[in-house]
Amino acid sequence: MVWLFLSILGVTLYFIVQYSVVRVTRAPWWQLWLVLMIPAFVIAGWSLTHSSIEAMPTSLLVGAFLISTVLYVVLIGRNPRTLPASQDGGQAMGDAKPEASTSPLNKEEQTQLQNCFPWSVYYLKQIDLRPQAVICRGQLRTEAEAAYQTIRQNVQAQFGDRFLVLFQSGAGEQPYFAIVANPQASTPSAQTKPSQKPLTRPGLALLLLGLTILTTTLAGISLANPSFQSESLRQDPQLLLTGLPYALSLMFILGVHELGHYCTARFYKILTTLPYFIPVPFSVGTFGAYIQMRTPAPNRKALFDVGIAGPLAGFIVTLPILIWGLMNSELTALPEQAGALSPSAFNPRFSILFAALSRLTFGAALTDTLAINLHPVAIAGWLGLIVTGLNLMPFGQLDGGHIVHAMYGQRVGAVVSQVCRVLVLLLSFVQPFLLFWGILLLFMPAVDEPALNDVSELNSYRDAAGLLALGLLLLIVLPLPSGLESFFFTIQPAP
C-alpha cells in the first residue's frame, strides 16, 4: 500500500511540475521533482529498513517536509521566469525597476506605438521600456473592453501579429497596457521563435486513450469481481466485458469534461492541445485527463467560460450515470467503522450531494443504519463527482481558480488560492481523501495566468453562475452534517 501511494504521488508531482510549475520558473523540472519527492524517498527508505511505517518518528517526516519546502522555494526564487504581467498577486511588472537591456522597439517604432493610443480612448502618459515588454501607462477614458479592442486593433495595424497586447490592472487600480513579443508570430521580425512543440498530437492522444480504456477496464473487472486474479483473465477473456461498464462510464465522464474545455477554448480561438488521458495500471485505472492552453485567454469572459465548461459538462453527464448506478446498487449493513471509502459498504454520508442522490434513488428504504454496495457504474459516477469537486476548488490554474480569477481579478484570485490551501488541509480532518490533494496544493502555483484583457469584468449572469459553481463544490466535498440526517434517511428507532 505504501509503494502504491508513493507511485501515485510521484506521477502526480511529475505532471504538476511539468505542466504547471515550469511556467513560473526556469529551474529544471527534474530538480523540482526530486526536491518535492524528498518526503516520499524518506518514507520509502524507512519502509525498506523497518517492518512498520507507523513506527516512523514524526520529527523525521516533518523534517523531510521542511527541507523539501525550503529547497523548493529556493529553486523557484533563484530561477524566476520573466512574465509580462504580475504573477505574484502583488506588484505588477510595470512597477519594477528598469533593467539595462535592449527594448523590443526602436525609436521609430516607439513613435508608431504612441499613435496607437487615441487620447479619447486611453490618454497615454508614459512609456516604460522593459527587456521583454513595453509598458504603456495612462488614463482610461472609455469602457475597458472598448479601449482594449481599439488599442489591440491599432497595434495590429501597425505591427501585424508581431506583438501581443495585454491590458492589466496596475497599482492604484489604474490599468496599463503591456506590449510583448508574440510567440506565435509569423513575421520574420518576431523576437521570439514559434513554439517547436506540435500543437496537436493525435497519435499520442489515441494511444493514451486506448491504454486508459485498457487500464480502466482491468480496474472495472476488479470492482465487479473482488476476488479477481490476473490468471483468471487468461482462462476466461470474456471477463473483460464485466469491466467495460465501469471503464466506459468513467471515460465518458472524463472525456466530456475535457471536451467542454477544448470546445470552448476553440470557440474563443485559444490554441490548445487535444485531451490527453493518463493511464495507470492500478487503483481506479487513470489519473484523469488534461488539456493545455498554449495561448492566453483573450479576456476574463473567455477565461470564465473555458474554466466552467469542463466541470459543468462533466457534472451534467455524471448525474444520470451515478443515478443509474445507484439504481443498480444494493443496500447493505453499515459497518461500525463507516469512515472508510469502501465501495462494498459505502457510507452515503460521504457528501451532502451524494446523500441527496441516494435518498432520491432509494427513497424511504434508505435508513440511517444502511450503507450502499456500489455498482461499478455507481463507482464511476462517484469518481465523476470527485473530479468535478477537485477541479472546482478555487485555486491557481484549476478550473475553480480560473472562475474566481475571472470573477474578481487576478490578485483577489491569488489571495483566495492561499486561503484555499489552508481550508483544504483543515477539511481533510473530516474528509480524509482531501489530505493527498491538500499536500499537492502546497506545491502548486497559487496564481493563475492573466488573460490578455484582464481588466474587463464579467456580466451578472456569469457572476451568478460562478457562485453556483462554488456552491456545487461545497455540496460535493462537505460531508453530511449530523443535524441534517433526518432529511435524508429514515431514522430507525434505537433497540
- What DSSP element (H or E) covers 288? strand 286-290
232 vs 287: which has the higher pLDDT:
287
Average pLDDT, the chain: 83
Mark whether 47 and 176 lie in a shared domain: no
Statement to judge: residues 469 and 328 lie in one domain: yes
pLDDT for residue 20 is more than 70: no
Q: Is the pTM of this model over 0.75?
A: yes
DSSP character for 293? Answer: B
What is the grid cell recorded at 146?
472598448
Of 179, 197, 168, which is closest to residue 409 (Cα–Cα)?
168
What count of Cα atoms within 13 Å lies in the side-chain half-sphere of residue 449?
Answer: 22
Final residue belonging to a domain, choices 59, 81, 103: 81
- How high is the pLDDT of residue 171? 65
411 vs 258, residue with greater confidence:
258
Beta-bridged to residue 288, according to DSSP, are: 278
Cα-based distances in Å from 38 to 13, 52, 69, 108, 237: 12, 19, 9, 53, 42
Neighbours of 474 (CB within 10 A): 13
Give SS3 for 133.
strand
Mean pLDDT of 383-404: 94
Same domain, 161 and 30: no
- pLDDT at 85 (0 to 100): 40
Would residue 228 count as lying in a domain?
A: yes
Alpha carbon distance 63, 60 (integer Å)? 5
Assess contact for 220 and 247: CB atoms under 8 A. Answer: yes
Q: Compute the distance between CA of residue 453 and CA of residue 369 in angstroms, rounded to an integer.
A: 54
Q: For residues 7 and 478, which has the higher predicted lDDT (pLDDT)? A: 478
Q: What CATH number does residue 127 fall under?
A: 3.30.1360
Length of the chain: 495
Q: Is residue 153 part of a domain?
A: yes
| Per-residue confidence (pLDDT) for residue 192, from 0 to 100 | 43
Residue that is written with C-alpha cell 471509502 in the block: 341
Domain that holds residue 417: 203-488
Q: What is the pLDDT of residues 53-95, one digit of tens each?
A: 667 787 787 788 778 877 877 777 676 655 444 433 333 434 4
Any domain includes 495? no
Last residue of a domain, one of 151, 181, 211: 181
Assess if residue 494 is contained within a domain.
Answer: no
- Which of 166, 83, 80 has its CA nearest to residue 131? 83
Question: Which residue type sits at 317?
Answer: V
pLDDT score of 372 more than 60: yes
Across-strand partners of 346? 372
Return phi, psi of residue 164, to 5°: -100, 145
365 within some domain: yes
